[in-house]
Structure 1
Amino acid sequence: MAQADVASRGAAAAAADQSDAEDLARLGYRQELKRDLGSLSAFAAGFSYVSILTTVFQLFVIGYTFGGTRFFWTWPVVFLGQLAVALNLAEVGSNYPVAGSVYQWGRRVWSGYPGWLAGWLKLVGDVVSVAAAAIALQAILPGLWGGFQLLGGDPSLTSRDGAANAVLLGAGLVVLTTAINMAGVKVMACVNDLGVLAELGGVVLLIGALLLHAVRGPEVVLAPVYGPPSSLGTGVAGLLAAALMPAYVLYGFDSAGSLAEETRSPRRIIPRAILKAIVVSGVGGALLIVAALMAAPSLTDGRLSSEGLAYVVVSALGPTLGKVFLADVALAVCVCTLAIQTGASRLAFSMARDGALPGAAALSRVSPRTRTPVGPAIAVGALACGMLLVNYGEAQLFVLITESAVLLVNLSYLLVTSGMLVRRLRGWPGHASARGEVFSLGRAGLALNAAAVLWGIALIANIAWPRHDGGSAWMQYFPVLSVIGTVALGLALHAATQRPRGEQEGDEVPAQGASSASITL
């Protein structure tokens, strides 16, 4: 009887895989990658990219420096705006469940260069984000054990010793994540799933521990308490600058869509994974910020503005327990780097498969043993290691490059949502909304799409606004100049590569064989 059940389940899984392969064929591609992932792994891909333990620890100082305790309120504002974006990406991702996420979505709502540009901007932003995530190890590991400071004695990221050691630790991590990606999607997913479970457990325990050691109530977010005064003051300008913190955290949730060709029943699972990633990150991050403000020994001694969340954890919980949580943060950094690199490699593979990148033949090759695109993983890892070297010479320049990455990724989202809005006004998704298991925003689609576009414009304007007081002009405008340079380079690459096959505005999966049921908001 048990053998019959196993055989029955095996037959059902094979039938489902065949159905997914046929669905992919209707979108113009044959099944090459190994379709081996379920809902947990899809969620983990999006959640790990955001990685609130990694990014909130890294960026808490930005929010508090400019906004004081009131910077908490920038978090729900940014969360709601990004949720509108995520809802639209979930819908288009369900309609077009193909590896490469933003690239595939962009080229199906825009024809020509704009659609290709969405993928190019996301790819460049992802490569830089791999380096930015990996370099965060320097802010954690030397504090756990002095032996991690392999070069010199000063672990500060702004010192020469710290910058050099950060490059060494970060490059070592990127080499490790590259090896994991080369081993196959199952190995990658197993590591990522375990890391996400550890991070989620760590977030819950850390919030609980900080609340148990609270020295003030939650009303702290209502009182305008500041540390040392910032150059932007305590008004609206300060809060807009503080909003950069959640803006730098809450992106990358689309990464679940990059694994669409390796996920079973992607039309159903991918949109849920995207939305779960942004919601869990938004709620968890908000609670973590409040708990940290409640447990901070002092709000005015300047340490929150210089040392951030690590100072709160070690001071409130003691060095032993505090280091346990810092170790969990280090693990979160590792899986965050892995998730970003995985998403970037699938994006590069998807573009190369269409002949839309230089070196397309090598980048689109799938390993016959692991059924994984090995070349893109190596290329992304190598480029990220190259980016790390920038930090050795000038840490401030690396910060500016990281800002540019956030700008690039959100611009790629805006290209997709604006293309969706144009298409929606022409009747999209039309009959596509009647396909089986397709996520649909229903009647709320137009309003949510317009909100996502307006939010994207506002967010990008805030990120790009020059604020580097006392810095040179090129530093103040570096993110904008880097975007202009990336777009110009993309224009040259697009002109030099062949037009991606199947790239016609209005590409939609035929409705044959699909039921009339759909998932609506």
Structure 2
Amino acid sequence: MSQAARGSAGGTGDGVSEFGYSQQMKRELGWYTSFAVAFGFVSIATGIFTAYGSVLNSSGPLGIWTWPVVVVGQLCVALVFGALAARIPVSGYAYQWISRLANPVLGWIMGWVSFTFLAVVVVAVDYTIASTILPVLFQYQGTSANAWVVTAGVLLLQAVLVALSTRATQRVNNVAVTMQLVGMVLLTVLLFVVGAATGVLDFGTLFSTGDVPSEGYFALGGLTSAGPWSLGFLMGAFTIVGFEAAANLAEETRDPARVVPKAMAQAVVGLGVLGMLFLIAVTALAGDPAALARSDTPVADVIARVLGSYVGKGLLVLVVISIFSCGLVISLSGARLVWAMARDKRFPAWRLLNRVTPATGTPLNASVFLFVVSQIVLGLFASSTQALFSLFSAATLLPALIYAATVALYLVKRRSLPPSKGFRLGRWEAPVLVVSVVWLVYELLIFRDASFAEPWLYVLVMFAIGAAYLGYLLVRHGVSGLSMPDMHDIDKTLDHDQQGVAAGGGA
């Protein structure tokens, strides 16, 4: 039995040697930092400020009630991810899991899809600051040109921080997440209290469809169109993603098999509850939802109108910090994925990208590479008249594909997974898998709508680039040359062990 097989069969350590690697980065993340990574990526401030206007236009205020459905669905996905992270706690998350449990070719494809997601979602997140928050905060007219410049600057600042110091990045994120937790609770309470005191809180708005016709509202839609209710799910689906970033930093987390699954699940639950309360408050204070839907910054407009310019601007500063933290975590996670794939010689320019710089203790080259790619993505989308919609749509479609493939892997391999080192689904496995599958199939069907043509084009272009490089790897090294370090076939290992037991019993 190989070293990896022995570790899977009976090891209890949380090191990386059983997976064929050496520990290159410091293992210093505790529970709160791991939680902050998951929470920071799944930033409700980012998601709601980015997508709320789109929901008003496509589904009306009633569309916010899709949120709890998404929370339940994504929580089940997070639990499946937790079960895998507890078995293979190494950087690269879905890339590692599928490479080792299915085969390296499928694992590489999943790694590339994950990379394309991180490259576009960091742009979508940072573009939100430039297009929906800063124009209200500083009272200037937002344009595609100035949004492009501001977003490029934010991306640069995040890349510098991630490249130079992991510890500083973690501290900034921990502080930002703490501020976001406290600030979003305070903001939600203030909106309810001030709205009730001034008599402008109208809960009837929560069940209005606004300018969206009520006839056929809950219809599933046609072959190339999704119904109004279905489109409302995109806000939650865009927001409640990225919790797996905690798994991507498993090699830097203490006791990751126990800490990471807990951090991911707690982040989804906490954000789900707080996000729903915030959506209820904002929607009940929307006034005329049809007029608000025409605004480029609907959430910011409600905050400023209800709480006044000074308090409103102070809380918008908090939102900027939260969104910056989200982009920071995405940059951190993206750099780790690039580094993890380059470490296995699976990424273009892997000789440069697989290095951990001794002076900083970070994969500096991988961080710079992700920054360059994100600037290219920004250039491709920023000239579009609906840049924000296209960015957040692509950043919703890609994780849905990743989650669906990972859950499918778990379904196929659940009987032959290596033993968990700290987290199991137990008797909840069947219902968790059923909910996950139903939710992900429904979510993916939403993207048949013709309005998602541009995000699909981005996905196809990135797939084509990835396919070309995968073809190069297969021609040069063959399928056998893509095997993972110290990789073992779990099915064969279990069969061999069972045969050995049977032979021993027969003797």
Fold similarity call, TM over 0.5: yes
1:449 CA drift (Å): 2.3
Relative distance call for 1:272 and 1:79 in structure 2 (3 A) is same
Question: Partner of 2:384 in structure 1?
Answer: 394
Residue 183 of structure 1 aligns to which amino acid in structure 2? Answer: L
Map 1:248-259; keep pairs closer than 5 Å: 248-259=238-249
Residue 444 of structure 2 aligns to which amino acid in structure 1? Answer: I
Q: Give unmatched runs, 5+ long, in structure 1.
A: 1-18, 156-161, 469-475, 511-521
Map 1:96-135; keep pairs closer than 5 Å: 96-135=88-127
Q: Tell me, yes or no, if the aligned pair for 1:349 and 1:376 is still in contact at 8 Å.
A: yes
Relative distance call for 1:219 and 1:401 in structure 2 (3 A) is closer
3-state SS of paired residue (2:59): helix
Question: Partner of 2:6 in structure 1?
Answer: none
Question: Partner of 1:313 in structure 2?
Answer: 303
Give the number of aligned pairs.
464
1:366 CA drift (Å): 0.3
1:489 CA drift (Å): 2.9
Relative distance call for 1:377 and 1:509 in structure 2 (3 A) is farther
Q: Tell me, yes or no, if the aligned pair for 2:397 and 2:444 is still in contact at 8 Å.
A: yes
1:54 CA drift (Å): 1.4
Q: Tell me, yes or no, if the aligned pair for 2:124 and 2:395 is still in contact at 8 Å.
A: no
Map 1:154-193; keep pairs closer than 5 Å: 154-155=141-142, 162-193=143-174
3-state SS of paired residue (1:252): coil
1:368 aligns with 2:358: yes
Distance 1:253 1:478 in 2: 26
Question: Partner of 2:136 in structure 1?
Answer: 143
Residue 49 of structure 1 aligns to which amino acid in structure 2? Answer: F
Q: 2:66 aligns with which of 74, 82, 90?
A: 74
Distance 1:213 1:509 in 2: 63
1:389 CA drift (Å): 1.9
1:414 CA drift (Å): 1.2
Residue 185 of structure 2 aligns to which amino acid in structure 1? Answer: V
1:454 CA drift (Å): 3.1
Residue 484 of structure 2 aligns to which amino acid in structure 1? Answer: R
Relative distance call for 1:303 and 1:402 in structure 2 (3 A) is closer
Question: Partner of 1:4 in structure 2?
Answer: none
1:408 aligns with 2:398: yes
1:41 aligns with 2:33: yes
Distance 1:404 1:294 in 2: 29
3-state SS of paired residue (1:440): coil
3-state SS of paired residue (1:395): coil
Q: Tell me, yes or no, if the aligned pair for 1:24 and 1:30 is still in contact at 8 Å.
A: yes
Relative distance call for 1:176 and 1:507 in structure 2 (3 A) is farther
Relative distance call for 1:164 and 1:41 in structure 2 (3 A) is same
Residue 48 of structure 2 aligns to which amino acid in structure 1? Answer: V
Question: Partner of 2:505 in structure 1?
Answer: none
Relative distance call for 1:456 and 1:505 in structure 2 (3 A) is farther
1:419 CA drift (Å): 0.7
1:428 aligns with 2:416: yes
Question: Partner of 2:498 in structure 1?
Answer: none
Distance 1:507 1:333 in 2: 44
Q: Percent identity?
A: 30
Residue 24 of structure 1 aligns to which amino acid in structure 2? Answer: V
Question: Partner of 1:25 in structure 2?
Answer: 17
1:500 CA drift (Å): 4.4
Question: Partner of 1:226 in structure 2?
Answer: 209
Question: Partner of 2:224 in structure 1?
Answer: none
1:39 CA drift (Å): 1.0
Residue 216 of structure 1 aligns to which amino acid in structure 2? Answer: L
Residues 177-235 of structure 1 show CA distances to partners (whole Å, capped at 9, x for unaligned) of: 111112221111001101111111111011001101233354643x3x23334799634
Question: Partner of 2:448 in structure 1?
Answer: 465
Distance 1:201 1:366 in 2: 35
Q: Give unmatched runs, 5+ long, in structure 2.
A: 1-10, 220-226, 495-507
Residues 143-181 of structure 1 show CA distances to partners (whole Å, capped at 9, x for unaligned) of: 2224xx6xxxx31xxxxxx11111111111111111111
Q: Tell me, yes or no, if the aligned pair for 2:46 and 2:319 is still in contact at 8 Å.
A: yes
Residue 75 of structure 1 aligns to which amino acid in structure 2? Answer: W
Question: Partner of 2:455 in structure 1?
Answer: 479
Residue 156 of structure 2 aligns to which amino acid in structure 1? Answer: V
Residues 228-270 of structure 1 show CA distances to partners (whole Å, capped at 9, x for unaligned) of: 3479963431111111111111111111111111111111111
Relative distance call for 1:374 and 1:232 in structure 2 (3 A) is farther
Residue 163 of structure 1 aligns to which amino acid in structure 2? Answer: S
Distance 1:508 1:386 in 2: 44
Distance 1:180 1:327 in 2: 20
Residue 429 of structure 1 aligns to which amino acid in structure 2? Answer: L
1:417 aligns with 2:407: yes
Residue 165 of structure 1 aligns to which amino acid in structure 2? Answer: N
3-state SS of paired residue (1:477): helix
Q: Tell me, yes or no, if the aligned pair for 2:136 and 2:297 is still in contact at 8 Å.
A: no
Residue 290 of structure 1 aligns to which amino acid in structure 2? Answer: I
1:415 CA drift (Å): 1.1
Q: 1:451 aligns with which of 395, 419, 435?
A: 435
Distance 2:58 2:113 in 1: 29
Q: Tell me, yes or no, if the aligned pair for 1:124 and 1:405 is still in contact at 8 Å.
A: no
Distance 2:39 2:276 in 1: 15
Relative distance call for 1:238 and 1:391 in structure 2 (3 A) is same
1:212 aligns with 2:212: no
> How well do the aligned residues superpose, as a CA RMSD in angstroms?
2.4
1:20 CA drift (Å): 9.1
Larger mean CA deviation between 307-316 and 80-89 belongs to 307-316
1:77 CA drift (Å): 0.9
